[in-house]
Chain A
Amino acid sequence: VHGTDDELVAQSLDGRREAFGELVLRHQKMVYNLARYMLGDVHAAEDLSQEAFLHAYRALPTYRAQGKFPAWLRTIVTRLCLNHRRDARREIPWADLSGHAAEVADGPDSRVGEWEQCRQVRQAIASLSPDYRDVIVLRYLEELSYEEMARHLNVPVSTIETRLHRAKKQLRQRLLESEGRGEGAPAGAGPSR
């Protein structure tokens, strides 16, 4: 099975399950990581990824073939994450975003510091409120524009600007606090004002 995403969608609509399987293989990494960063839990992310693909499969007839299947799929994931998080019972503190220990064990010393820095940044992201976390994830993981983020989150662009600014401000503050506790200074945290 090969072809563009739109061609695979058309084949899926003809009943070829393997075509949709190819779409899953292509985009499962994006879907899973977006869900993982937005939800902060690997198990919930896997469940939601499965739900997102099934939702997409059922909604394929509504997809307009414009070569934007990843964006369409990302919208589904984002909205499912927001719905998932609205349920207070499902709110899970971030605990799984510190990276894999294997990266440290296998890497050279230089990568240990690198990994430690990433771990601190991820912890700082995890400490943000969900609204701030969402804009950080969509901007720096998915690299969406402010307008695209506004559409995904259904808020004005000015709200995105404000949230991103405040999120970055909080992140910087928490990284500086980590530095003050002697946990190592992440490069780029910058001097305190």
Chain B
Amino acid sequence: LTGEQTMTCVEWEVWISAYHDDALDAERRRAVEAHLAGCALCRATSEAFAPIGPMLKAAMTRDPAPETLFARVMTQLPEPSSRAPRWKPVLRPPRGWLSFGLAPVGILLWLLMSGPSAPKRDPGTTGATVPQMTIAPRPGAPRIAGPAKGRNIAPTESKQTPLREPGRAAPAQKESPSNVSPPPAPDPRPELEPLRRMQQRRPPRFQDRLARRPGVRLASTAGGRHTGSARRSHRRSRSHPERRVRPVLVAKSPSTGPRIQSPPLASRQPEPWVTVVDYVLPQAAPETTVGEGTEFVLRAAETYAVTPTRYEY
């Protein structure tokens, strides 16, 4: 070893101490043993240090932890719901239906176009004066792939038939208390049928996750917030507008539907809502064939609350 021949006994003591802790490599161990064989002073030092370790181990016993410690820790733990999104992003958009790309936009356009041809409900059945249905974007909302801001998308018929949650009665007008809302209609609104079909085609895993998370909303109508990676991607995109390609998501199957959901009937949500997601293929790979494992890039995602009076997001 370098410098071994010039080490003093005081310097050897450090190695002798480590020697008794069995912390030396083979080379230094042999050097210590060789030095001890020829140095009486260091042998005495070694004999003095030898019992220190066992004595310390015997003296440093572990006492039981205080009985209150466990309760103190458990009462201070944050609620699982508050930490779950950070640990496990269960709220990110399900990926199975992402391969639809611009299909949700088409759905919304279909709603625009199908309005005039929707069957007119019997005014005597509902007894309600139907307000106009508009899209009113929330101020400060990011770019969307949906209808233009404040655009009137409701045809003449939709003024008579407000879009509302299936099975729920139309709200009675305060000005005409004699109008009585009918019971939940067994015959749902035909213009909502595409939404219902899409809802039924949500991936089961997504629904299971939703069922296991009471109180978790998959998309928020209040405040127009997005959840999961979609919301974060918007923040990043806005902070770096020149870099629009943010989250890369993998489409699992092109056969699943877009994210069009409405709350369950028992929910307190008074309004159904629709999320329109716009995913495109990355520009860097235009030749990519859509299929299993195809990567898409989130371009826009917006949630619209469908109220009897208007679309709002």
Contacts and interface: CB of A to CB of B under 8 A. Distances in A.
Partners in one complex: yes
A187 B56 CA distance: 11
B88 A30 contact: no
Given A57-B77, A122-B60, A140-B57, A13 B18 contact: no
B259 to A, nearest CB: 24
B62 A33 contact: yes
B87 A54 contact: no
Given A29-B62, A171-B52, A164 B70 contact: no
A8 to B, nearest CB: 14
A50 B65 contact: no
A36 B86 CA distance: 33
Given A14-B88, A61-B86, A125 B56 contact: yes
> For chain A, what secondary structure do more than half of its interface residues adopt (helix, strand, loop), or is it mixed?
helix
A137 B69 contact: no
Given A15-B81, A29-B62, A145-B23, A162 B14 contact: yes
How many chain A residues sit at the interface, stated as a range, is 35 or more
B266 interface: no
Contacts of A189: 51, 55
Given A161-B17, A190-B49, A191-B48, 17 more contacts: A14-B88, A24-B69, A29-B62, A32-B69, A46-B66, A46-B72, A50-B69, A61-B86, A121-B56, A146-B18, A146-B21, A164-B17, A164-B21, A171-B52, A172-B48, A172-B52, A189-B55
Interface of B: 13-15, 17-18, 21, 23, 44-45, 47-66, 68-70, 72-74, 76-78, 80-81, 83-84, 86-88
18 contacts: A13-B87, A17-B77, A24-B74, A28-B69, A29-B63, A32-B66, A49-B69, A50-B73, A53-B73, A54-B77, A57-B78, A125-B59, A141-B57, A145-B23, A164-B17, A165-B18, A188-B51, A190-B47
